[in-house]
Chain A
């Protein structure tokens, strides 16, 4: 039985794709078998795992072209696989959104086929394609649906507007040297949204890692963000244990 986790940005550009790739690698480093599924039509996730920039294949591309989505999966390392979105035009993305609205159980029906092969399935969710998001979080019953935010006033406003959203919030690019971020974090800890207890710190090595086509942490000794993501992976393993205990199963 595997555990599904999704990352959804509070707004665009907070680093969802980068963190899905980094968390996938960190869980894999803990000995877990991980599949990363890209539901973001930007089709960038593969770059974080060494795919060439001109790779066009992906599950959405295959679906539109009437091909088998499973042929669009890539194995990057033993136990670490990737299902990219595929190259898609704006009209293609609208067509996929439409199809997912008509077939909201797209992932719910496909996940059981993958259950035996992976311990974790991580979903990279797009910002504003509701049917893309609902197919994972609602209809496939994602076990660990997380929101990703940066620690800035704009996200603070958005989080307050959606105060009824019970998903945990993971903080990215936290810079405690900045007074406004320190104060905001204080407010969030003391009565704000339900936080994942491991913020990811601002770290220039994150974007440098992508430009070098190397995994986060491989090219910068002592990278703070790499250490944060490793801790986040350990929290995810503990959270899986808590979820299973709640369901009355052994971890």
Chain B
């Protein structure tokens, strides 16, 4: 759904926006590894969430 709209909820995303503006590189790609890891851990902990995310149970 709308992860972009929620990006402003984290201070990390704000920091990256400031960096993009400062470097005049609006297209600068950025991968939030800590968020990806937290997501993977959440799905591993809760079978219902993994089922809803369409990911195999770990």
Contacts and interface: CB of A to CB of B under 8 A. Distances in A.
A197 interface: yes
Contacts, number: 59
Contacts of A197: 6, 8-9
Contacts of A179: 45
Contacts of A189: 3, 6, 9-10, 35
A187 B39 contact: yes
Contact of B3 (A180, A183, A191): A191
Nearest to B39: A190
Contacts of B46: 153, 180, 183
Nearest to B53: A187
Interface residues of B, number: 20
Interface residues of A, number: 20
A188 B49 CA distance: 11
A190 B6 contact: yes
A179 B49 CA distance: 13
Contact of B9 (A163, A187, A195): A195
B20 to A, nearest CB: 19
A156 B49 CA distance: 8
A184 B10 contact: no
Contacts of A160: 52
A187 B2 contact: no
22 contacts: A153-B46, A156-B48, A157-B48, A160-B52, A163-B1, A183-B42, A184-B49, A186-B35, A186-B38, A187-B39, A187-B43, A187-B53, A189-B3, A190-B6, A190-B38, A190-B39, A191-B6, A191-B39, A192-B1, A194-B2, A195-B6, A197-B6
Given A156-B49, A160-B52, 19 more contacts: A153-B46, A153-B49, A156-B48, A156-B52, A163-B1, A183-B49, A184-B42, A186-B35, A186-B38, A187-B42, A187-B43, A188-B6, A189-B6, A190-B3, A190-B35, A190-B39, A193-B2, A194-B5, A195-B5
